[in-house]
Structure 1
């Protein structure tokens, strides 16, 4: 099993590095998403979830819909979050990059960002990730890991995003029960050897809270439900068969499914709670956010990072 995790982790590392080298001003977000997902497949894995490209104050859960015309602009602070699975064993990683090398300043709401400020946010997220990883071993309490991350980020004059966490993973399940906080919590749960964790601090100069936007482009199977539409029943069967419990994009269904009235079927699946919609998340004050993430496996003397 560890060999399969390491294979998934190696693929994620390679594709993440390729994406960083390819991303540029004027690039369509959809082009970047398609590149990342296709490169995962070329290397013998499948996407564990739709590639997330979240820009500036948009913090998570944005993946391009079909026909997305969004373009990366000079000064954008871009979070690239990707995952791959091999036979259901998942590796998950994220990196933040700034588009271009201009002088700025760049505006987000009432805040002004220089390149230096954004690079500090990126560096703080990367270092906070290292702090968390250095605290992971059997017996480590989750609340203590969060406290170490929060203390480091605060020392840099920034805030962690309090209501976003890392997560444990298991076969075919991206979020398998444990939440790995980025702030101090009274959480005495102790890590155990063999735990597989996605560690992902988010860093901002805003209020450190995210809220839902109205848009949803990513979904996950929840349960079988009685459905009126034949197309909805067919679609739910496709989702269960192709993606099991892993998140998927409606874009994928539009590319591969021959379901007529797909939008109507999706609406019925959502309203009946057969599938779960992941709302795009935005920092509540409109401040920009940086993210870093690795997948680790807890071992007897610490942990192994499979995505670096």
Structure 2
């Protein structure tokens, strides 16, 4: 495969999604300040995506302090930003072709932690090209984070994005490993280093406000209300993740738990480090080329 492959129309959709995401991320980031509403920031970003001609690839993630991923406001959430480390992770798709990016807004006066994630992302972008092993990319990320005196989150990784699939192969680790694959021209990756003041491992919290259809289990649902909700989810979101607050049903959380027990949907609890720890994140989506990569979400940092 050569760079001529990148003239395929789907790559223009990737680029269009990236342009929308860059605009939305910059506008949403300016709204993150002490006393501002998390829900209002999330809803602003999601509505702005639609105004610009895209659709949400997943709910806006707003992770604070020890949280790393899968945190999004609940319906009628009144949480306000405090003096916190805020990671804003946004996804856009155009006809299913996805851009995924994240930035960290520091309300704690810990700029070196933000710089660690951003420099690790820069190192990854500088390393990536066709023929480069994903473990080599992970080593560049790890070296940059540790060089700032912090720890990469070792059990989170970057990933591929495909049409209507926000998390596919290949995996792009945040540490140097010997396992993995060699990248090829045309691979589309969301590379997302995390830096932490903690031990570098996240676990699942108790709360899940993000769900998606499960790849396992049948679709036979006997409860009428749960079956109707499932039909709405399939029609509105397909295989993409969605937020509980997006569902126009006051019983949504109860019905989702029922569907989850049947293996029809899968919840994504918040992923977090230890209490008292801070986490930063930086992420771009990029297209692998013969001698480097093309960043589709340029202009965020």
**TM-score (norm: length of structure 1):** 0.90
- Residue 192 of structure 2 is aligned to residue 184 of structure 1: no
Partners in 2 of 1:269 and 1:77 — Cα distance?
34
User: Retained in 1: the 8 A contact 2:244–2:252?
Assistant: no
Give matches, 1:1-308, under 5 Å.
1-73=10-82, 75-99=83-107, 115=109, 118-223=110-215, 224-254=218-248, 259=249, 261-284=251-274, 286-308=276-298
Secondary structure at 2:270 match in 1: strand
- CA apart distance, 1:264: 3.0
CA distance 1:147–1:38, shift in 2 (3 Å): same
User: Retained in 1: the 8 A contact 2:171–2:180?
Assistant: no
Partners in 2 of 1:60 and 1:237 — Cα distance?
27
* Structure 1 residue runs of 4 or more that deviate by more than 6 Å after TM superposition: none
Secondary structure at 2:59 match in 1: coil
- CA apart distance, 1:285: 5.2
CA distance 1:55–1:285, shift in 2 (3 Å): closer
Query: Please, which moves more after superposition, 260-269 or 147-156?
Result: 260-269
CA distance 1:263–1:23, shift in 2 (3 Å): closer
- The unaligned stretches of length 5 or more in structure 2 are 1-9
Partners in 2 of 1:260 and 1:267 — Cα distance?
13
Secondary structure at 1:8 match in 2: helix
Partners in 1 of 2:135 and 2:106 — Cα distance?
31
- CA apart distance, 1:281: 0.9
- CA apart distance, 1:124: 1.1
User: Retained in 1: the 8 A contact 2:190–2:286?
Assistant: yes
**Structural RMSD (CA):** 1.3
* Number of positions where the alignment pairs a residue of Structure 1 with one of Structure 2: 287
CA distance 1:260–1:282, shift in 2 (3 Å): closer
- CA apart distance, 1:235: 1.2
Deviations 1:119-171 (A, max 9, x none): 00001111100001111111111111111111121111110000110000100
In the alignment, what sits opposite 1:103? none
Deviations 1:248-269 (A, max 9, x none): 0010013xxxx57433321111
User: Retained in 2: the 8 A contact 1:158–1:203?
Assistant: yes
- CA apart distance, 1:185: 1.3
**TM-score (norm: length of structure 2):** 0.92
Secondary structure at 1:3 match in 2: helix
CA distance 1:264–1:21, shift in 2 (3 Å): closer
Deviations 1:244-291 (A, max 9, x none): 11100010013xxxx574333211111111111101011135410000
In the alignment, what sits opposite 1:111? none
